[in-house]
Structure 1
């Protein structure tokens, strides 16, 4: 039997970041990754808010482009332009970055085992069974489930998680056509609860994708239709196609049970409005590592429950606000969305969003919109009160 202080199931960016932190504390750590290669296939838009550099390591070599703002498009193409003078986000090489984070964890002392799919586990005893030609048994004081939206670890103490599908193309225009300083985001009731994005990598290459309550064929139809009807993408070459799943945030999900904790997508630690989860995941990796370290040092596994408490204390309100915003957007028709964009433009919302907007902490902007009574002008009073009540 292979004995470890911590068994990390999944070697994605959040799991490997946690493994680095806990290995640096001197604990014996193993990462069990079901894939044969870390980071592939790409399953992310690869756009990270500027906070990333305060939260985790991000070498410049993995930054493909810096983004300063965005063009927000309504269904009939009413456009809001928002942004700042300094970079607000980074377009990154996610595959390379994922590999880098795993290398950092290994350099810190964590062991990496690829092609190791977990078949079973016991959250009470810390046993993990892996099927890889012949069964292997691993024993850990703590099991960390960082194994994505369909987490095998989460299934031990939660109902099956819900998720929505995402699809993305890598486009090559063969010539300079893109404004590399801005992303483009399109909202439309036909792709609820998600949106469509265009993220420039360079003046000639971009990632274009969306997530919605559709299957992969449905997402492909929307993407192809969008490309075919926008003259900007005339003669575009599709270099690669990607698909993946985004977990639906679940406030009732348990993230600690006996010797097991959950991290990242496995814990549905994602923004309900955008589906992004790396920033939250990285913060939680640090939070979890601190808690696991204390539990191991004190030889008291009950200390793990503090991680769930700290997580909810840090993110509960923010995620509640984002859930309400998402519900409102899901209820709007395309006509409603166009009217909302017009009122936002008339209400000088572009300046307000540019000043208070944040990719990762959206509640700050919502508070300002309530304070400036801008929300009252674009939403029914009942919905505005519902959002406002979250701070009472």
Structure 2
């Protein structure tokens, strides 16, 4: 695992699919976690407000851990020649912590105080491997082709997002032990898949092989962080508000329109990745941000389910343009030797935004939420366009 093999292809699709398996495992476990969080706490006699507090704490700690773990993986890459040992350790630890959550419930009230510890421990274990794993994307494609490679990860996220509204009753019907067992197995299988595709392979003209010894531009880091803040806060508030706006039209199944949105993300991810390769990543991201800002404005005025479907499709396409570009953007702002740090800082910005919004987002009105979402997208677009690596 300690040697890197240069390969003369533009995109290493097999390795990208390995990362997609990891992304899918991350998304699935978070879906299960969020579906069961309130029920698990209530089953042990905790108040529902503890769930909000835990999300704030987990994301605040994640904001510190993501760049720390990413930077640590950079050191592992330098000294050992591979990030995979840290990734494997993190995924195994996450799987064990995830399986431990329903076991605490089975222990009953005698283990009650362990539940918050188990929940936070799992969330922190996830930070051990997420930034190191996703920073590997920079190895697997020419820099100009990174959005196309990232589109596979976006597609997986879209499929998971579409699954969540329609499969939530099924997942809850499984019971916590079965659902968390499935999540545990998926995490371990994803680690095995990534191991089997030889994650140390590198495209000959990838950012890693071309700019590994480039000097670090420390002034770039705040821009990466603020882009993460803007994207995460904008998407969180827009999706939250869009669902509420759909319900306000009187449509009886708002979940179905959210499914349309995420199916659009999944279907448009690959074409949007190809478009970004032709236009340039920053240009494609800018168009995506403009589309999201326009969709935010239209959401304020939706009057029917038909309009909501059109807006959902527009959001899905714009979402893909932005999501395909975020990791390539973060990787472009740091030398390849600091890929973990750059990826971690982007996720750190997102964690800060989610931590704040977990505490206050539910208290914002529809108009205020959409206004903040539009401003957040504008800030992120400004960061992407204004600061060149």
| Fold match by TM threshold 0.5 | no
- Structure scoring higher RCO (CA < 8 A, sep ≥ 6) equals 2
Q: TM-score, normalised by structure 1?
A: 0.27
> Which of the pair is proportionally richer in strand?
1
Q: TM-score, normalised by structure 2?
A: 0.27
> Which of the pair is proportionally richer in helix?
2
Task: Give 1 or 2 for the bigger CA radius of gyration.
Answer: 1
